[in-house]
Amino acid sequence: MIPITSKLPNVGTTIFSVMSQLALENNAINLSQGFPDFECPAELVSLVSKHMKKGHNQYAPMPGVLDLREKIAEKIDKIHSARYDAETEITVTAGGTQAIFTALTAVIQPNDEVIIFEPAYDCYSPTVKLLGGLVKSFELSAPDYQIDWEMLKKLISSRTRLIILNSPHNPTGMILTEYDIKQLSHLIQNTDILILSDEVYEHIIYDENSHLSMARYPVLRERSFIVASFGKLFHNTGWKIGYCAAPAWLMAEFRKVHQFLVFSVNTPVQYAIADFLANESNYIDLKGFYQQKRDTFRDLMVNTRFDLLPCLGSYFQCVQYSRISDEHDVEFAKRLIKDSKVAGIPVSAFYNRRSNEHVLRFCFAKKQETLEKAVERLIKV
Ligand code: PMP
């Protein structure tokens, strides 16, 4: 073996792989990984096939098929009354993860500080580290994971380059409020801080809440990369397609990286999604679809000894198990798989410092019968 220096020496097998493997070995119901166990719309599959047969099988334009970018711009305008130029301000990506990696690579220099709220989706911190940036973690706590903006101010320095936001939030199901937006706008005033806003769950939001995209607020929008994922929108996480929207000056830098990272994204799927987006109910109706799943799952879970934390968006429900056990969450999650045959994710895995508040995350993007069967087992815990 030729010696090399690992760029990510502390990254091993992720907790997601560990839990899924354990779930498989124990024949457990897997509510750990964040993807649906039901099919994506048949119409969309037919559209991909149609475009393949039509000959849309060669490289797409580097920023994406123009028809798709135009449909994305229309969608953003319809929902948030914000106009993005399809030519210069939207790029189609190979999923949200590639958009995040590309945006960070475009703007982070060595020793730049990046603020990450924890618990956090797992790709943010390793990406910043790969780029030589410094992760400044801001820990949020159960049960409601609210941001203390006064405390956050203390983390800001002259080297703060970017803040990563994620609303609706994975894993906590929390959303940004108008109060948060006001505080954020105030915080970045007279600074050069950029924003990466991970909005992949934008359409999965409950009750009377609406998604407060950075696109809605000119002072935030002018310095934001907004990341979205069609995998979440159309129940096909395996297709790995999403997009980034940003003002032209930021998008120009984004595309410099994008063209050497992937150059372009798979062509027939782009045409198919462009057609599918023409019918707005294909994305507007998602809210009602998941609201029903969230309500069902919460109603069933009331009969268990797990305490439900709020879930205002995303397809994740966090639960606290302090009334059942004081074990560390990783140990508890493993035991739940072995003894009760249900897999969840210990929320400590989403923190750098592995703080443990006895919280597990369950994914309820599952068929009704999967949810019912899982809760039947959880009732006995
Ligand atoms: N951000 C968050 C918060 C996510 O939960 C995910 C997917 N689990 C992504 C980004 C990545 O999206 P994609 O699968 O489109 O790469």
Check which CATH number belongs to the domain holding 34 and give it.
3.90.1150.10
- The structure's pTM equals 0.97
Q: Which of 97, 196, 345 to mutate to test the pocket of ligand 1 (most atoms within 8 A of CB)?
A: 97
Residue 122 lies in a domain: yes
Residue 51 lies in a domain: no
Query: Cα–Cα distance between 58 and 175 in angstroms, integer?
Result: 39
Examine the pLDDT at 355 and tell me if it is beyond 80: no
What confidence score (pLDDT) does residue 98 get? 98
Q: Which of 116, 198, 200 to mutate to test the pocket of ligand 1 (most atoms within 8 A of CB)?
A: 200
Q: Name the domain boundary from 250, 279, 308.
A: 279
Is any atom of ligand 1 closer than 6 Å to the C-beta of 242? Answer: yes
- Structural domain of residue 314, as residue ranges? 15-40+284-378
Q: Rounded to an integer, what is the distance from CA 173 to the centroid of its chain? A: 11
pLDDT digits over 160-179, tens only? 999 999 999 999 999 999 99
What confidence score (pLDDT) does residue 353 get? 81
Is any atom of ligand 1 closer than 6 Å to the C-beta of 236? Answer: no
Same domain (yes/no): 238, 306: no
For residues 352-372, average pLDDT = 93
Domain count of the fold of the chain:
2
pLDDT digits over 326-349, tens only? 999 999 999 999 999 999 999 999
pLDDT digits over 7-18, tens only? 999 888 888 889
Residue 46 lies in a domain: no
Is any atom of ligand 1 closer than 6 Å to the C-beta of 168? Answer: no
Same domain (yes/no): 233, 363: no
Residue 49 lies in a domain: no
Examine the pLDDT at 354 and tell me if it is beyond 80: no
For residues 119-135, average pLDDT = 97
What confidence score (pLDDT) does residue 33 get? 86
Q: What is the dihedral of CA 204, 115, 112, 90, to 10 degrees?
A: 20
Q: What is the mean pLDDT of the chain?
A: 96
Which residue bears the tokens 């930021």?
A: 250
How far, in Å, from the CA of 229 to the mean position of ligand 1?
Answer: 7
pLDDT digits over 243-267, tens only? 999 999 999 999 999 999 999 999 9
How far, in Å, from the CA of 240 to the mean position of ligand 1?
Answer: 9
**Contact present, 68 and 48 (Cβ < 8 Å):** no
Q: Which of 101, 121, 345 to mutate to test the pocket of ligand 1 (most atoms within 8 A of CB)?
A: 121
**Contact present, 127 and 112 (Cβ < 8 Å):** no
Residue 110 lies in a domain: yes
Residue 8 lies in a domain: no
For residues 66-95, average pLDDT = 98
